[in-house]
Amino acid sequence: MNRISQINGVVSQAQTPGAKKAGGEGFMEIMNGLTKEVDEKLKTADQKVQQFALGQSQDLHEVVVASEKADISLRFLLQVRNKMLEAYQEMMRMQM
């Protein structure tokens, strides 16, 4: 199951508070998974850059691809965080 479909599943779960589908992941587990994936991609990109700088690798294409994957993943995670903060702030502004 890819991360987009997991996030869509979380959105549908959010419609019934406290509900968790059988065998499904909760929102926190998905966010933790996304954070770990981004961290791994950042570490991999850093490692490839270091190897290239030290002359251990000659494949510049691989370095650029790993760096771009890490960058896109990080920007996606930041956008998810920003949307969550916006939603939280909107709920705080609601009058009971």
Q: Per residue in 43-76, pLDDT tens? A: 999 999 999 999 998 899 999 999 999 999 999 9
3 inside domain:
no
92 inside domain:
yes
Domain tally, the chain: 1
80 inside domain:
yes
Residues counted in the chain: 96
35 residue type, one letter: T
Q: Per residue in 2-46, pLDDT tens? A: 555 555 555 555 544 454 555 567 888 988 999 999 999 999 999
29 inside domain:
no
12 inside domain:
no
DSSP letter for each residue of 3-28: HHHHHHHHHHHHTSTT---TTPPPHH
Instruction: Take residue 15 and report the two structure tokens written for it.
Output: 């419609």
- Please tell me the pTM assigned to this model: 0.68
Return the pLDDT at 51: 94
17 inside domain:
no
Range of the structural domain that residue 75 is part of = 35-96
